[in-house]
Amino acid sequence: MLKIHGLKKKFGNFHALNGLDMEIEEGALYGFVGPNGAGKTTAIRILTGLLLPDEGTVEIAGKDALKYREEVKTEFGYVPDEFGMYDNLKVWEYMEFFASCYGMTGLVARNRCAELLEQVRLSDRTDAFVDSLSRGMKQRLCLARALIHDPKLLVLDEPTSGMDPRNRMEFKAVLKELCAEGKTILVSSHILSELSQMCTDIGIIDAGKIVLSGSMWEILQKVNDSNPLLIKVFDRREEAIRLLRQDPAVKTIAIRDSDIVVQFHGGQEEEAYLLKNMVDAGIPVSGFIREQGDLESIFMQITNREKGKVVLTSEE
């Protein structure tokens, strides 16, 4: 659905994008993550036609988005980080205004607006002024606005910032519904826990290029493999530590409360053999688990540029 290749953009001496490559499959809910200044908004502005790159190609629904800017406009809907509201319009007027911006008028526009307001749970506020809506409602209205022309790709820049948990949940539910309907969604956000709950794919951008991308499952698996093993023994802790020292995959051993925390560089098979060895040696193992990784931890690892820290790369 979206293919970005070798995208470069310079502002003065600052390389906002430095050869960005990205691909989003049809029907994916793609989380676009990166620290401030990594180039997320620049990339989004380029793919929505608000900015031209210095180099590179952007393809939306098989069309060259840089060459056929006007044709591509019907293929995507854009929700910016700031809502862009006309406070002095009523909700239905706001929707019909944007419908007419895509050439939709009359009954077709009215029906489409009603359908979308129903979908974003705003059908009871159609006669309210936009000004009177809460932040969450405004965000959902903005989402409905972006869907007015039934685009295949939806681009959302920090959509849930400033929302309360309830509105966030509702917004997430709407996004999942849209994804189930077959829409491809690109969502940039800083709230990583949220992205990990709803996204099917993820791309982490840093210094203008994608440093890690893949399906959410693959990425979390990578995080898990690099996380320490937490081993609990009922008794004979010293003997357990001696045994662990003999294993070549064990890098460091630490004691945290009642747990033995082991930096273990091995896969699931090596883990299984280590557990077998401990049990065979008669050590009463009461717990043996990988510490659960999350998107935050991998994000911190990747985007941390201090020397001596573990840095995961997509080749790992």
Partner 1 sequence: MKNNPVYRREMTVRSRSLRMPLIIFAFNGVLALAALLNMYQTIAQVRSSSTIQYSTFLDLYAFVATLEFLLLMFIMPALTSGSISGERERQTLELLFTTKMSPSDIIMGKLLSAVEQLLILVVSSLPIVLLTFVYGSVDFRDLCLLLICFTVVAFYAGGIGILFSSLLRKSTFSNVCTYGVLLFVVVGTYMLNIFLLNLNQIQIGNMVLQPGMERPMADTGLAVMTLLINPVATFAEILGNQVSGGASILSIRSFFGSNNGSFLIRYWIPLSLAVQSAVSFVIIRSAVYCLNPVKNEKK
| Residue 150 to residue 13: CA distance in whole angstroms | 39
Give min distance, CB of 230 to partner 1, in A. Answer: 47
By the rule CB under 8 A, 102 interacts with partner 1: yes
| Of the residues 11, 68, 86, 234, which one makes contact with partner 1 according to CB under 8 A | 86
Phi, psi angle pair for 41, to nearest 5°? -65, -35
Residue 310 Cα to chain centre, angstroms: 22
By the rule CB under 8 A, 127 interacts with partner 1: no
Distances (CA, A) of 247 to 11, 233, 272, 310, 316: 51, 17, 12, 21, 22
| Of the residues 19, 85, 232, 270, which one makes contact with partner 1 according to CB under 8 A | 85
**241-280: which residues touch partner 1 (CB under 8 A)?**
none
Contact status, residue 1 vs residue 61, Cβ threshold 8 Å: yes
Give min distance, CB of 141 to partner 1, in A. Answer: 12
Give min distance, CB of 188 to partner 1, in A. Answer: 15
By the rule CB under 8 A, 128 interacts with partner 1: no
Residue 212: count of CB within 10 angstroms of its CB: 22
Contact status, residue 274 vs residue 289, Cβ threshold 8 Å: no
Place of tokens 């717990």: 287
| Of the residues 103, 106, 267, 287, which one makes contact with partner 1 according to CB under 8 A | 103
By the rule CB under 8 A, 78 interacts with partner 1: yes
Distances (CA, A) of 132 to 125, 129, 143: 10, 5, 17
The closest of 128, 145, 197 to 168, measured between CA atoms, is: 197
Give min distance, CB of 12 to partner 1, in A. Answer: 14
The sign of the torsion formed by the CA atoms of 122, 91, 127, 152 equals negative
By the rule CB under 8 A, 100 interacts with partner 1: yes
| Of the residues 140, 145, 168, 183, which one makes contact with partner 1 according to CB under 8 A | 145
| Of the residues 26, 37, 52, 255, which one makes contact with partner 1 according to CB under 8 A | 52
By the rule CB under 8 A, 50 interacts with partner 1: yes
> Which residues of the chain form contacts with partner 1 (CB under 8 A)?
48-52, 54, 66, 70, 73-74, 76, 78, 80, 82-86, 88-89, 93, 97-98, 100-103, 105, 145
